[in-house]
Amino acid sequence: MLNRIHPPRPDWYEEFYASAMDKTMKPYEAEIAGYKSLLFANLIGKGDKILEIGIGTGPNLKYYADYPGVEVFGVDPNRKMEKYAVAAAEAAGLPLSNFRFEQAVAEALPLNDASVDVVVGTLVLCSVEDVDQALQEVKRVLKPGGLYIFVEHVAAKDGTILRILQGILDPLQQTLADRCHLTRNTATNIAGAGFAGVDVNHANLSTASLINPHVYGIAYK
């Protein structure tokens, strides 16, 4: 399933992308920190078992490392992300006994039904092969009452210069950034995925250039 959804990339490409994410995202992470702090405050009393889809280099681990007893399971098809995610967990003070990384895709999660309290996904649905299948998997593994916390970049409004540029540069972005799409309307997929409720907010980030606007919020199972 992993290889069908995410055919293996050459080692050098996976390392290039993982290292680029690790090195270039710091200004973005600094700008989005305020939004993320507010979102992840919803973990209080909810976040015993967290699944992070497309965990990448682990920029979110610092937001939940302080919750006592929290267990984090990160999945990502790019094996080269693991060492960065482990380093991020260590830097955040998350005990490594409470952190696990597995090479897997969001469309086929290696977890039982109703087995996690919270699913987190940031800048991931732009990259998955099948957005709707990934969202059905998120819903499947969440316990009743569980939260899906998301931050995603989406297509700009039709007719804007940014949307025209996104259309032109989308193929290049997919090549350089491991199939990240600039033109998805992911909020529509989340709203239509059958969650009990969805709170969606919008933001524009100066450090994100073409990957704007953002939608962020919480879907409730």
Ligand X SMILES: C[S@@+](CC[C@H](N)C(=O)[O-])C[C@H]1O[C@@H](n2cnc3c(N)ncnc32)[C@H](O)[C@@H]1O
Rg over CA atoms, the chain:
16
Q: Measured on CA atoms in the order 199, 71, 135, 124, is the torsion positive or negative?
A: positive
How many residues belong to the site for ligand X (CB under 6 A)? 24
Segment interacting with ligand X, rule: CB under 6 A, options 35-43, 62-70, 71-79, 184-192: 71-79
Cα angle value 47/49/52 (rounded, 5°)? 95
Region class of 131: left (phi > 0), else alpha (psi between -120 and 50), else beta: alpha
The nearer residue to ligand X, 21 or 92, going by C-beta atoms, is 21
Stretch 170-209: interaction string toward ligand X, x if CB under 6 A = --------x-x-----------------------------
Cβ atoms within 10 Å of 143's Cβ, excluding its own = 16
Segment interacting with ligand X, rule: CB under 6 A, options 83-91, 105-113, 138-146, 168-176: 105-113
Instruction: Please tell me whether residue 63 adopts helix, strand or coil conformation.
Output: helix
In the complex, minimum distance from the CB of residue 86 to ligand X, in angstroms, rounded to a whole number: 14
Segment interacting with ligand X, rule: CB under 6 A, options 43-51, 103-111, 142-150, 156-164: 103-111
Nearest alpha carbon to residue 133 among 106, 103, 102: 106
In the complex, minimum distance from the CB of residue 127 to ligand X, in angstroms, rounded to a whole number: 4
The nearer residue to ligand X, 196 or 204, going by C-beta atoms, is 204
CA 14 to chain centre: 17
Q: Which of residues 137-166 bind ligand X (CB under 6 A)?
A: none
Stretch 109-128: interaction string toward ligand X, x if CB under 6 A = -------------xxx--xx
Alpha-carbon distances of 130 from 36, 56, 65, 161, rounded to whole Å: 25, 18, 30, 27
In the complex, minimum distance from the CB of residue 159 to ligand X, in angstroms, rounded to a whole number: 26
The nearer residue to ligand X, 71 or 178, going by C-beta atoms, is 178
Segment interacting with ligand X, rule: CB under 6 A, options 64-72, 75-83, 135-143, 186-194: 75-83
Distance CA 128, CA 120 (A): 14
Question: Rule CB under 6 A: which residues touch ligand X?
Answer: 5-6, 21, 25, 53-56, 59, 76-78, 81, 105-107, 122-124, 127-129, 178, 180
